[in-house]
Amino acid sequence: MTVADVIEVLPDHVVDQIAAGEVVERPASVVKELVENALDAGARLVTIDVIGGGRQLIRVVDDGRGMTPRDARLALSRHATSKLRSVDDLWGIGTMGFRGEALPSIASVARLTLTTRTADALAATRIVVEGGRVGEVTEVGAPVGTTIEVADLFANVPARLKFLKGDATEASHVTDAVSRLAMAHPEIHLRLRHAGRVALDAPPAPSAIERARQLLGPRLAGRLHPVTVEDGGIRVTALLAAPELAQSTARGVQLYVGRRAVRDRGLLHAVAMGYGELVPRGRYPVAIVLVDVPAGAVDVNVHPQKLEVRFSDAAAVATAVRHAVRRGVAGAPWLAEAASAAPVQVRAISSMAPPRTYSAEPVGGYARTPPSSQGAFDLAPAAAPAPSADAWAERMRAQIAARAQTPRAAAMAPEPRARALPIVDSAPVDDPDDGAIAAGQGDLGLGTGIGLAPAPAPMPAFFATLRYLGQLDRTYLVCEGDGELVLIDQHAAHERVEFQRLRERSAAHEVPVQRLLFPTTIEVDAASIAIVADAADVLAAAGFEVEPFGGTSVAIKAVPAGLRHTEPAAVLRQLLGELAEVDGSRAVEAHLDHVLATIACHSVVRAGDVLDGHEAEALLRAMDGVDFRAHCPHGRPVLLRLPVGELARRFGR
Amino acid sequence: MEFRIPKAEFVRGLRLAQSIADRKSTMPMLANVLLRTQGKDKLLVAATDLNVSLTAELKSTNTAEGGLTVNAKALHDLVVSAPGDTLTLKRTDNHWAEIKSGKVNYRIVGMPDRDFPKVPDPREVTFGEVDASVLREMIDRTLFSVCNDETRFHLNGVLFESSGSKARMVSTDGHRLSKVERPLPGGPQLSAGVIIPKKGLLEIKRVLEGATTAKLAVKTPHVFLQNEELSLAVKLIDAQFPPYEQVIPKDPKRSVVIDRALLVESLKRAQLMSSETRGVKLSLAAGTLTIASDNPDLGEVREEIDSDYAGDAIAIGFNPKYVIELLGQMTSDQVSLSLGGELDPGLWRPLGADDYVGVIMPMRI
């Protein structure tokens, strides 16, 4: 049998599209690359126009140096760059870009028009590239600088187009990307418009804190506490928000290394560690952390979009960040109020859920993560062993594929940000008393719809087997379990029970909505404004009628009934945050949970209520019926378990 | 300082004073009542929580001049239970008060009167005499829809507008609004409305009890009310009341007249079947009004009332509590409900000459 030659060198346009797959993930990445180019060209003012979430049109206008006709043409071919001459330059690179990949990559998946003029040239050069083919080159009139228009993004890559989310979500990613660039470059004037509406306008700011004020809106910025610490060449500037502003997602933590917005689990963890017990488990602080390391101590050429960096001494950087945050927190004015709320320093197993088993969730690709025991001081999910990045990417792909196939399955899939949480294995756990089973804390449960979740396996009646001993401080139920002391927060427990009841009841109904006589205006961040405008129907389904009200204000015209006057604003902010992160339907579900949880919170026993034995036992029995994956987003732990062995150790036996 | 006073006279002043004195304040002085002699035959009694201040000029026989403050609640209870018809009070060393009544001697701790906060002086304002029952009625009809959320302080009171011949009171909690207008000759002539806080209105109602006329004055930042020897100064809320006229529907398309008592009864039945978050649905069709509500935990209820409605069918949801409270303040047999669309505010009025309206925002259910 003869074997024919099968291996061929790929044609250039295929190579470009593959490269584009890495660099250009979504409209926001196009914006990021183009604005970075503008910054590298010495621009002082960059104006970004986005239409249709970036799918229809992205236009980036800068007043930088511009390019000569020769450079303009060359810039569109791969690995052509003005920013790098040799491999050695890679260490300590001063420009944002250096690979010469962005423009040709973008050009290969969209219709790109480049117009550029240098100060010396009389006329500007305009080049149109369509699907990677460089078209006509003309001379036109234009101001000094470069204008790049990217139209019909991914029109020739249907597979990629399919994975884009709604316009509102993409628009909010763009706002996020621009906002991060603005944060890293306070001296530049950045202006972003979505469909002509100004979403962000950040004139040059004298300092990071000033810039943060522009970007975050007065509500948040007013509560930021700045701190700068320099140690061993590592300079950390952190703007820390008060712990009560903590969010359920890590979105509020912005990390910058050498003026690049990066994602770095280690640094994120370091920030959370810096806050210590002030921020409860499952929640993340709001903080902006800018790290500068000596040239040569960081490699930025790791990630195609340069979202990750590699430090030559990652531990030292993490330590510096942790120390800086800790010092900032210690010196912040809000510490005094919050310190009293810090939990008791007892090392014990505390978990959201009773020991129990879970049935299989039809989520493809979730790697089995061994159950891990968590001490009371494991602050954030980030503390849990994180699977490798590859495994994570693998899971994401599987998840995306699953979502594309069935929306129902997608609605059940835990959210990507929950990836580092200990995922309970689908197989029943042999030893139900293994206290190591940590239920989905934080946000794991948010995305799961009650009506859709498969029936859980029969649960061992953990709570009913507890022997109720008494009430402590009118707040905690003290119980004896099998070889352990179990403390239950009566308010949190009852809230869970009530929440579950409300949730089951409301599953079939729409949210009742109370309209307002006078719209209430609240301040939100720039990214949320775009969502308010574009996702009005989603918000309406959740019981909110909201309209942009100029600047960073929105007007609330109707609220979910049953919330007290001050609560709608907090719930809405949470919902907007979630909408930016996930698809509409899932955010609404999470939001409904939040509304229900808030209502549940009204109607239950409080800390300080005396419960007699019968009431306490009834509460314990009811707890066994609670699906803990559907815990309320308030996310405080319900119980604390002290093994007898731990008591023995403390008594020195 | 020493004075003699009839027990009944003293109680009249102390009763209001002890309800105003603020026991929970971080300023211990605010839990006290001020007693100060004025000339030979008057005793000034004053209490304040810094927002509402009471001053009473009681008839007394003074034998030594001076002043003193003592705990308001303790003094009131003590005087009420005193056996005699008259009491004598004398300040002794270290601000102790020695009280004698019949054969009973009390000694209670006091504090020096110089530390008592200065209260607005009613002698500095010009009062006009108004009908007390009209004022009381206007307060009743608006007080219930005041917003109780302290973060929205501009809604924590009732807007009071007065021209000297007519007066208007408006309150809203953001979900509903009530507005009443009455002739009020003798009322203050105000160029703009003032917001009287809820607690102040409750105290004003107390002072108005049993009175046929009262004296009223506004001198920013206070509203003053005087009934015989009692004077009240209430600190106004310094804020902008929302533009309420804009939210009162001008020309609603649909209108129906309903028997008020029947509707209230029906709403109360429906309320039993609605949870705190779910409203009651009012469906209008030619000739009938259907009131229905359901609660997944309990069940559902449906009731039909005859009506004069002739327009096209429409269904609108309301929080039954809001409607019941509003209708409870109306006195006419018949009330009218005017509606735009199902998401537009509902306008409720008593039928007749009563110049009173309630606006309730609908619920989407």
- Domain regions of chain B by residue span: 2-115, 122-245, 248-360
* pLDDT band per the 50, 70, 90 thresholds, residue B183: very high
Pick B177's closest partner by Cβ from A505, A517, A520: A517
Range of the domain at A287: 209-337
Give A-chain residues touching B247 at CB under 8 angstroms. 517-518
Cβ contact B247–A517 (<8 Å): yes
Which chain A residues are Cβ-neighbours of B297 within 8 angstroms? 505
Please say whether the dihedral angle defined by the alpha carbons of residues A585, A590, A593 and A594, taken in this order, is positive or negative: negative
**CB environment A586-625: b (16+ within 10 A), e (fewer):** bbbbbbbbbbbbbbbbeebbeeeeebeeebbbebbebbbe
Residue B294: φ, ψ to 5°: -145, 155
Q: Answer whether B174 sits within 8 Å of A565, measured CB to CB.
A: yes
Residues A125 and A259 in one domain: no
Which chain B residue has the Cα nearest residue A595?
B277
Residues A247 and A287 both lie in one domain: yes
Q: Is residue A372 part of a domain?
A: no
Residues B105-142 as b or e (16 or more Cβ within 10 Å = b): ebeeebbebeebeebbebeebebbebbbebbbbbbebb
Q: Is the pLDDT of residue B212 over 90?
A: yes
Classify domain B248-360 by CATH number: 3.10.150.10
Chain A nearest-CA residue for B171 = A517
A515 and B361 in contact by Cβ < 8 A? yes
Question: B78 vs A283, B28, B34, B72, B113, CA distance in Å?
Answer: 56, 19, 16, 10, 20
**Is the pLDDT at A410 greater than 60, yes or no?**
no
Q: Is residue B146 a contact partner of residue B200, using CB atoms and an 8 Å limit?
A: no
Task: Give the CATH number for residue A20.
Answer: 3.30.565.10
**Domain-embedded: residue A499:** no
The answer to which of A189-203, A217-231, A250-264, A480-494 has the lowest mean pLDDT is A217-231
CATH for B122-245 is 3.10.150.10
> How many other C-beta atoms can be found within 10 angstroms of the C-beta atom of residue A550?
10
Residues A135 and A15 placed together within one structural domain of the fold: yes
Q: Please report which confidence band the pLDDT of residue B292 belongs to, taking 50, 70 and 90 as the band edges.
A: very high
* A244 and A97 within one domain: no
- For chain B, say whether A514 makes contact (Cβ under 8 Å): yes
Q: Does A1 touch chain B (CB under 8 A)?
A: no
Tokens of A528: 């949320």
- pLDDT for B177: 96
Beta-carbon separation of B364 and A517 below 8 A = no
The b/e string for B48-64 (b: 16+ C-beta within 10 A; e otherwise) is bbebbbbbbbbebbbee
A344 confidence band (pLDDT: 50, 70, 90): very low
- Asked if residue A126 lies in contact with residue A137, where contact means CB atoms within 8 angstroms, the answer is yes
Contact B277 A599 (CB under 8 A): yes
Chain A residues close to B151, C-beta within 8 Å: 565-566
Q: How far is A358 from chain B (nearest CA, A)?
A: 28
- A508 contact residues in B (CB cutoff 8 A): 296
A157 and A251 share one domain: no
What confidence tier does A429 reach under pLDDT thresholds 50, 70, 90?
very low
A364 located within any domain: no
Pairing outcome for strands A189-194 and A45-51: parallel
8 A C-beta contact, residue B271 and residue B239: no
pTM, two decimals, is 0.55
Among all chains, which residue has been given the structure tokens 């979202």?
A: A307
Which tops the pLDDT comparison, A468 or A526? A468
Is the confidence at residue B136, as pLDDT, over 50?
yes
Do A396 and A416 contact (CB within 8 A), yes or no? Answer: yes
Let me know whether A28 and A141 are in one domain: yes
- What integer is the mean pLDDT of B94-111? 92
Q: A223 vs chain B: nearest CA distance in angstroms?
A: 19
Task: Identify whether the C-beta of residue B52 lies closer than 8 Å to the C-beta of residue B235.
Answer: yes
Q: CA-based Rg of chain B, rounded to a whole angstrom?
A: 25
- Chain B residue numbers touching A603 (CB-CB < 8 A): 276
Number of domains in chain A: 2
CB distance from A516 to chain B under 8 Å? yes
In a domain, A482, yes or no: no
Both A184 and A78 in a single domain? yes
Q: Which two tokens stand for residue A427?
A: 């197989």
pLDDT beyond 60 at A368: no
User: What's the average model confidence in pLDDT over B295-322?
Assistant: 89
Chain A residues whose beta carbon lies within 8 Å of the beta carbon of residue B279? 512, 514, 561
Q: Do both A65 and A155 map to the same domain?
A: yes
Between chains, do B277 and A558 touch, taking CB under 8 Å as contact?
Answer: no
Residue A459 has pLDDT above 90, yes or no: no
- Residues of B with Cβ-Cβ distance to A599 under 8 angstroms: 277
The single-letter code of the amino acid at A282 is G
pLDDT of B217 higher than 70: yes
CB atoms A517 and B278 under 8 Å? no
**Which of A101-115, A181-195, A337-351 tops mean pLDDT?**
A181-195
How far is the alpha carbon of A90 from chain B, nearest alpha carbon, in Å? 55
Residue that terminates a domain, selected from A296, A321, A337: A337
- Token digits of residue A605: 């026993």
Average pLDDT over residues B257-275: 90
A564 contacts in B (CB within 8 Å)?
149
Structure tokens at B317: 């949801």
* One domain for residues A269 and A307: yes
Residues A231 and A280 in one domain: yes
Query: Which residue of chain B comes nearest to A598, CA vs CA?
Result: B277
Nearest-CA distance from A564 to chain B in Å? 8
Contacts of B278 in chain A (CB under 8 A): 512, 561
**Whole-complex ipTM:** 0.78
- Which pLDDT belongs to residue B170? 97
Interchain proximity B174–A517, CB inside 8 Å: yes
If DSSP codes are grouped into helix, strand and coil, which group holds residue A628?
Answer: helix
Cβ(A207)–Cβ(A192) below 8 Å = no
Intra-chain end-to-end CA distance of chain B, in Å: 67
Among A293, A317, A337, where does a domain finish?
A337
In a domain, A492, yes or no: no
Nearest CA distance, A596 vs chain B (angstrom): 10
> Is the pLDDT reported for residue A299 higher than 60?
yes
Residues of chain B found within 8 Å of residue A517, distances taken between Cβ atoms: 172, 174-177, 242, 247, 345, 359, 361
Q: Among all chains, which residue has been given the structure tokens 């509304």?
A: A595
Judge whether A13 lies within some domain: yes
Q: Do A529 and A174 touch, CB atoms closer than 8 A? A: no
- Of all residues in chain B, the one with the smallest CA distance to A520 is B174
Q: H-helix or E-strand containing B262?
A: helix B260-272
pLDDT value of residue A636? 65
Nearest to B345 among A509, A517, A561 (CB): A517
pLDDT at A169 over 90: no
Question: Domain boundary residue among A150, A176, A204?
Answer: A204
Confidence of residue A611 (pLDDT cuts 50, 70, 90): confident
User: Least CB-CB distance to B363: which of A508, A512, A566?
Assistant: A512
pLDDT tens-place string over residues A497-535:
777 766 666 555 566 788 888 888 888 877 777 778 777
CATH class of B2-115: alpha beta
pLDDT at B107: 93
Q: Residue A277: what pLDDT?
A: 65
Q: How far is A462 from chain B (nearest CA, A)?
A: 27
User: Taking an 8 Å Cβ-Cβ cutoff, which residues of chain B contact chain A?
Assistant: 147, 149, 151-152, 172-177, 242, 247, 276-279, 296-297, 317, 319, 343, 345, 359, 361-365
- What's the mean per-residue pLDDT of chain A? 71
Based on the domain organization, do A104 and A21 belong to the same domain? yes
DSSP states along A329-360: HHHSTTHHHHHTTPPP----EEESS-S-----
Q: Is B151 within 8 Å of A565 when comparing Cβ atoms?
A: yes
* Greater pLDDT, A439 or B81: B81
A521/B contact by beta carbon, under 8 A: no
Q: Which residue of B has its CA nearest to A521?
A: B152
Query: In the Cβ-directed half-sphere of B341, how many Cα atoms lie within 13 Å?
Result: 4
Q: What is the pLDDT of residue A376?
A: 36
- Does B147 contact A565 at a Cβ distance shorter than 8 Å? yes
Task: Indicate whether A16 belongs to any domain.
Answer: yes
A41 and A178 housed in the same domain: yes
Average pLDDT in chain B: 92
Give B94→chain A minimum CA distance, Å: 39
